[in-house]
Structures are given as C-alpha cells and as structure tokens.
A and B are shown apart, each in its own frame.
Chain A
Amino acid sequence: MPNMSPKKAPMPSQDPNVRNKNFLEVATGYTEEVAIEEAQRCLNCKHRPCVNGCPVHIAIPDFIKEVAQGNFAGAYDVISQSSSLPAVCGRVCPQESQCESKCVRGIKTEPVGIGRLERFVADWHNAQTDVKVNKPESNGHKVAIVGSGPAGLTCAGDLAKKGYDVTVFEALHLAGGVLVYGIPEFRLPKSIVQKEVDTLKELGVKVETNMVIGRVLSIDELMDDYGFESVFIGSGAGLPRFMNIPGENLCGVYSANEFLTRTNLMKAYKDDSTTPIMHAKKVAVVGGGNVAMDAARCAKRLGAEEVYIVYRRSEEELPARKEEVEHAKEEGIIFKLLNNPVEILGNEDEFVTGMKCIKMELGEPDSSGRRRPVEIPGSEFVLDVDAVVISIGTSPNPLIKATTKGLDTQKWGGIIADENGLTSREGVYAGGDAVTGAATVILAMGAGKTAAAAIDEYIQNKNK
C-alpha cells in the first residue's frame, strides 16, 4: 500500500539565521527511514511520465522501488545507468519543471520528492567506502572532451562506460566547471563534485587540468597530432556581460563570475585563503537568475549586513528557481524589484559608494513573451552600497571559435550543432552552454549524453 501523504517528506535544513553565516550545506538530506517513507509515495505507474521529464531519462520508478525496499545499492545501479552525476543533479536540478512536474501524485497533491531521493541514493552510495567501480574493457578508441563542466563530465562518463579512452581537458586547476567555481558550497559541497570526478577517473577517464584548449593545444592538434578520433566541446558560456553604465570599473564592482570564482573556487571565504575578496557591508546584486541568488547569498555569508537583489522586472518574471528565491528571502536578502541601475557612484579613491537606480514599470510583452520593463521618468534614487555584483548573464567564450577553423557559430557566439551535437566539423561535437548559451546543469548533461551516443555511433561506423 503506497504512502498516501499529500506532502513530500520535508527536507531537513539549517536554520536560515544560522546558515546565512556559514558555507555549510543548507539542506542536510533525508535519513534512510525518511527516504523509504518518501519512496513509498510513488505509485509506480505504468506510463511513467516522470521519466520523460528527465533530460537524461533516469528509470525513476525503478530506482524509487528499490529505495522503498531499502535496497539502496540497487537504486544506485539503476540511476547510474542513465546519470553520471546523481549527487549533483539531485541537488541542483530544477525538478519542479522537469521530472517532478510530470509526477502523477503532483496533479492533486505534492509530487514525489524525486530529486531528494536521487540525492539520498547518491549520498548513500558515496558514503560506502568499499565500492569498487568496474573499469570497462578498452575498445581502443580515443575521444577528447574540452571542458569538465556537467556536459563534458557526462559525455566522458558515458563514453568511458562503453570502453573509450577518454581525456578531459580543463582550463582551470580543478575539474567541474560551474559546479566548482559557480554553484556555492552551501548548495553543492565541493567534496561531492570531487567524489563524482573521482568515480569517473576510476572508470578510466583521464582529467588534464591547466589545459586551455585554443592556446596550449588546438582542436586540430588534438585530432591530427594526438590521435583523438572525435572531440566533444563542452566549454560552456563563461564570458560575463557587463551593463556598460558609468562607474562599472570602480573598485568593488564584480562580475558574478569573478565574485563566485573567488568565493567558491579560490575559497576566499576562508580566513586562511590567500585569494582576497571585499567583505562589503552593503552589496547590490544586479540580476534575477540563479547566479544572482548564489552571489547574494554568498555576499551575506561573507558578512554583509544588507544585500539587495536589484531586478528590472517583477517577482513573477524572476528567472531563478522558486526554491532559491525562497531560500534567499529566508536568509534576509532584500529584493528591490522593478529597479534598474543607471550609474555606479564612487569616491576619490574610486571605491563604490552607491548605485543610482531608476524605477521601472511593466509595459507590453516583448518577443520573449515577458512584459518589457519601462523606465519611470524622474524616479532615480541612490542605493547606499559599497559593492556591486553584476549578474546579468554570460555568453560562450570566444577562444575555441577563434582557434578552430571551419567551426560555425551563431552571431552571439554559440557553436552551431545539430540535434545530436554534431558541429560543422566532422568528428567534432558540442553541447551544453557552449551551444545554447547559459542554461541549466541538467540540460548540459542531457546534451553531453546525446553527444556521447552520437560519437559512439560515428566512431563505430567509421571503423566498420
């Protein structure tokens, strides 16, 4: 008999006023008992709509059934057939618009906590010390992966499982892409990312850090000189956009990428870190996406007394996940909606002293279907802040495009790839933010997975 409770088993979390002063994980995860209880809410329905809501098509009812029976190792086996990074996805996927949005239980009550259960299973697996990964037998074919973010790691994992000799090239000193430099420790502990990368290494994936492809080696060299039969480009969309308003180069104005990289990758929040960061008292974060929420919540944890989210539309249009907005509010982040910065003000030493904003109202819907924000004349005011974080989006890094002949890109920089990830170059595939522009972790993983299948097919056909 299924558990007919209308609500998901709640996720235990740190108290908002405690957690906004530390970088420990906010949500602490299900216990075994709670996981089994929540798993029993799944009706194990025949048409399995949840599976279609998952970009990597995890056999959700199958793994949940194992959890319900207390067979967590079996549950992990089911998940790992489809996903290489379950501990990550269980935490950062927007399940409300993916698997859980399709859950039958969700029609009348709350859907099954699929993400929470996936996370539980992955964490349970990672806590086992004696699990050995079976390294697949080599098929003798070499594939290079450019970038070790979610797209690259997923593509690498899938190909390694098929026996490919996979090398991942990463420009930074740690693998993980946005999972290590972007998403903060309190949402995704870095030890978990490291664990998932280590699992890939056990599968035989080689990870070469400090390798900026396009500078130290080109894609042509990888294929012509190093014997890689195919290359997957998962270099992301890491180029920050600025607003081009006066004062943007004052001391104390950061791109969200810089602010988060210093905080997360370089651990500037730790007292003994050698990488500095400004511990500002009043911080404005410009933008309304998940990255803006992350930056605001980091600023609070770095000791800011007041942190503002400054967004030009209204709450309804905020692109961030609802849960992230809720968490931010609980932690005391102040939302300045329908406001747009027009100038950043500084003192004679060129440090930020304030940000001049103008109030907005919503006009007619634009081409994206969202109502266009329109300035209200004469409504300017100054927000008293000493640091500003610009989080209005990123675009694909132009380096790969500039150094790879014959690789077609969109005007805005995205690599042009077909539905299988194939680019304009034979044997060269691409996926994730490098193709779509800034999107989500799970979409990048889906693209990595699709490309891995296409690369497998390409190499097998070529060698027939």
Chain B
Amino acid sequence: MYKIVKKKSLNPTVTLMEIDAPLIAKKAEPGQFIILRVDENGERIPLTVAGYDREAGTVRIIFQIVGATTEKLNHLNEGDYIHDFVGPLGVPTHTDGLKKVCVVGGGVGCAIALPVAEKLHEIGCEVHSIVGFRNKDLVILEDEFKACSDKFVLMTDDGSYGQKGVVTAPLEEMIKAGEDYDLVITIGPLIMMKFVVKTTKPYNIPTTVSMNPIMIDGTGMCGGCRLTVDGQTKFACVDGPDFDGFKVDFDEAMKRGAMYKPFERHAYEETCNLFKKEVE
C-alpha cells in the first residue's frame, strides 16, 4: 500500500498527487512511468512520472479525470492509500549532450513534459517551451514552465488565455525564424504529437514523441502496448515510451487506443453513478 502524502487540484479535471514510494523516488528519471492500481479489484493504469523528491521519498503523478479509474483515484485524499504502485518503468528520456531543445506539451501531457524541460534546463541546455490547452480554466504548471524555459509560449484553442491557436503554429514560426533546435520533444494527445511531427519533418528537426498506448503489466510480458515504429513492432513499456516521431505509425496507435471505448464509457458512467456525479 502506498500513501498519498499530498493532493492538489490543478484545474477542474486535473489533479496532482505525491505518493510515498522511496525506492521509486530514488531511481525515477524524466520520461519514465509508473503503473498503479487504485484498489484491490482495480485495473492497472500507466501514469508518467511528473516529478520526484529523492530525499522525501515521494513520486509525483498528475492525472486527468477521463474515466472510471482516474475518477476513483481522484476520490482518494491525503492520507489514503493506493493499493499498488510500481516503477520506475520504461526508458528515461534521452537528454545527454543536447544544446537547444523545444519542448511541446499539450493538456495534461504538460505535466510529463515539465520534468523533461527541467532536466534539460539543469544540464545547461537552452529550453524553449510551447504549451497548449483547450481554454484558460485548464492551464496548468505555467509558472513552473516559465522558471525552466528560456522562451515560453502558451496557447489556448479558444484564445481565452495566452495566444489563440494550436501549438504547431508558434513551433513553425520559431523554426522559420531560424531557431536551430537539436531536438523537439513533444508530449500530449496523439493527434497533437502527430501534427508536431508533421511540422518538424519538412525541416528535418529530430522529434521525440512520448507514446501513451494501452498497457496492462508495463514490464514487457504481454505486448498490449505494441506500436509500429519504422515498420517494426515495438513494446512502448520497455522500448519506449519515447520514440523517433518520424517513424511512429500514429494512425495505428490512435485506432488501438480507442479499442475499448464503449467499455470505458460504460465503466465511467457506472463509477460516476456510484459517486453521483454527471459525466461531462
């Protein structure tokens, strides 16, 4: 059992938690993930490590309430326990030797992009950050990004905060203006990452994407998280979750991600009925 030592709501659908897990806190690196199970009959879900405090022995997760399990998780409070919490899993984001990087985050993906940006900043890399949200109410981690970024652009789809539009617009502008990035790292919804790759490809700027397929064990024993990368089958949980964005088959990944949609919808409704709350 793993104690929730801190809980904070970042916006109406996004929550931050710090979990007491000293062994994981000691080893975790940006880009890695954990798998958790809320209760004894719960499913296993992957969440990327959003931060860690090696001394305090805590691991930070930031999650968006999108279905039954994240809804149940959000009903737990400080002092409550999560049944299972395992990690760190996956390969850390490669940051060695990078001099200038643009980090592009979308929605709750920004929570995962932040530790990567912070690590890059720490090793003396010039960091430009572009973050995108649907609207002003959903903005998270703005100050944290500003603190580790040499350049920071915030976008909202409806223009209610920052600039109006999607993240690819400023990215293309900055590239056109002559920013010579060693690498673009993008983390967010599949559709956003797909379009970031479409933006960087004509300029041949290497682009790393953090994939988020369906997972069960997260240790390489089932292949539920498999993706096609450069025509080869890869397991995101052990070979990734980071991959060369130019080589990932995004359309396949999107179809596979939607495989259990009707089941998930039903499970979410049942959970919400349990908590007497409308599904938006």
Chain A interfacial positions (CB closer than 8 Å to B): 171-173, 209-212, 215-217, 238-240, 242, 244, 248-249, 251-252, 254-255, 257-258, 261-262, 266-267, 272-276, 278, 349-351, 397-399
Contact = CB atoms under 8 A, between A and B. Distances in A.
B223 A240 contact: yes
Contacts of B44: 173, 266, 275
Contacts of A349: 255
Q: Which of A252, A258, A349, A397 has the most CB of B within 10 A?
A: A258
Nearest to B2: A210
A212 B34 CA distance: 11
12 contacts: A171-B86, A210-B86, A212-B87, A215-B88, A240-B221, A240-B222, A249-B226, A251-B255, A251-B256, A266-B44, A266-B216, A274-B42
Interface stretch (B47-55, B94-102, B258-266): B258-266
Interface string B205-238: 0000000000011011111101110000100001
A61 to B, nearest CB: 40
Query: Which secondary structure characterizes the binding site on chain A?
Result: loop
A215 B264 contact: no
Nearest to B219: A171
B63 interface: no
A279 B264 CA distance: 14
Contacts of A267: 41
Contacts of A240: 221-223
A217 B87 CA distance: 10
Q: Which of B68, B222, B260, B263 has the most CB of A within 10 A?
A: B222
Contacts of B69: 274
B174 interface: no
B80 interface: no
Nearest to A173: B84
B37 interface: yes
Contact of A215 (B43, B87, B223): B87
B210 to A, nearest CB: 18
Contact of A173 (B27, B86, B222): B86
Contact of B221 (A211, A217, A257, A275): A257
Nearest to B221: A238
Contacts of B125: none
B96 to A, nearest CB: 18
Contact of B217 (A209, A249, A261, A276): A261
Given A215-B89, A274-B267, A350-B255, A257 B228 contact: no
B2 to A, nearest CB: 9
B102 to A, nearest CB: 29
Given A240-B221, A399-B219, A216 B88 contact: yes
A275 B224 CA distance: 13
